[in-house]
C-alpha cells in the first residue's frame, strides 16, 4: 500500500517540479514579490476554477483541471518557501536553490501524508475528486482567516500545515486522475 502511494506521489510531484523548474528558468523567482495573502488568493482562484469546471463540465479557455491541480501544488510549495524566506533574502534565487527548497517542502509534506495515511487508512482513495476540491477550498478559507488574524490561532494548526494539506489533496486528485 505505502510503496504504491509513495511511487504515485513521487510521479505526480515529478510532473509538477519539472514545470516549476522550467518556469523558474523562464521567469526567475518573480513569485518572491508575492505577499502570503496573494499566494493564498492564487490557490483560491485555481481551486475555484476546478470547482466551476467540475460543475459546468466545460472550459472556455481550454485548460483542464489537471493543470489547475498542478498549479495548486506549485503555489503551495511557493507559499511554504515564502514562509521560510525572509524579506532580507534576495528576490532572485538560483534554480539550484529553488530546487533544494522545493524538495525540502515537498518531502516534509510527503512525510505528513504518510503519517496521516497511517491514521486514516488511505481514505482518500475512496473519496470523490470533487470532495478533494472542496477540502482544498475549505483549507484556503481557513488560511485566509488565519492571515486576517495576523497568523494568530487559539487551537488550530498554522498556515504551513494547511498548505501541506492542500498540496497533498491536490496530489491525491492527480493520482485519481491518472497523472504520471
Q: What is the pLDDT along the chain (180 residues), one digit of tens a residue?
A: 445 999 999 999 999 999 999 999 999 999 999 999 999 999 999 999 999 999 987 766 667 899 999 999 999 999 999 999 988 899 999 999 999 999 999 999 999 999 988 888 889 999 999 999 999 999 999 999 999 999 888 888 899 999 999 999 999 999 999 998
Alpha-helical (H) ranges within 28-64 are: 36-56
Under DSSP, the state recorded for 90 is -
C-alpha distance across the termini of the chain, in Å:
17
Round to whole Å and give the CA distance between 79 and 164: 10
Strands (E), 45-166: none
User: Is residue 152 within 8 Å of residue 97, measured between CB atoms?
Assistant: no
| Cα distance between residue 25 and residue 74, in whole Å | 15
- Per-domain residue ranges for the chain? 2-176
| Rounded Cα–Cα distance for residues 23 and 7 (Å) | 24
Amino acid at each position: 500500500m505505502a510503496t504504491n502511494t509513495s511511487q504515485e506521489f513521487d510521479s505526480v510531484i515529478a510532473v509538477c517540479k519539472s514545470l516549476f523548474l522550467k518556469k523558474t528558468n523562464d521567469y526567475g523567482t518573480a513569485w518572491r514579490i508575492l505577499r502570503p495573502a496573494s499566494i493564498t488568493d492564487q490557490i483560491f482562484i485555481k481551486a475555484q476554477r476546478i470547482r466551476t469546471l467540475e460543475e459546468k463540465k466545460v472550459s472556455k479557455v481550454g485548460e483542464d483541471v489537471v493543470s489547475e491541480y498542478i498549479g495548486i501544488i506549485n503555489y503551495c510549495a511557493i507559499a511554504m518557501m515564502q514562509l521560510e524566506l525572509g524579506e532580507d533574502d534576495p528576490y532572485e534565487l538560483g534554480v539550484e536553490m529553488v530546487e533544494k527548497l522545493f524538495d525540502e517542502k515537498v518531502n516534509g509534506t510527503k512525510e505528513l501524508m504518510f503519517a496521516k495515511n497511517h491514521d486514516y487508512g488511505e481514505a482518500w482513495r475512496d473519496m470523490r475528486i470533487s470532495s478533494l476540491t472542496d477540502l482544498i477550498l475549505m483549507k484556503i478559507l481557513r488560511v485566509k482567516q488565519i492571515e486576517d488574524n495576523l497568523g494568530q490561532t487559539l487551537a488550530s494548526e498554522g498556515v504551513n500545515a494547511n498548505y501541506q494539506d492542500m498540496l497533498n489533496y491536490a496530489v491525491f486528485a492527480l493520482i485519481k486522475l491518472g497523472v504520471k
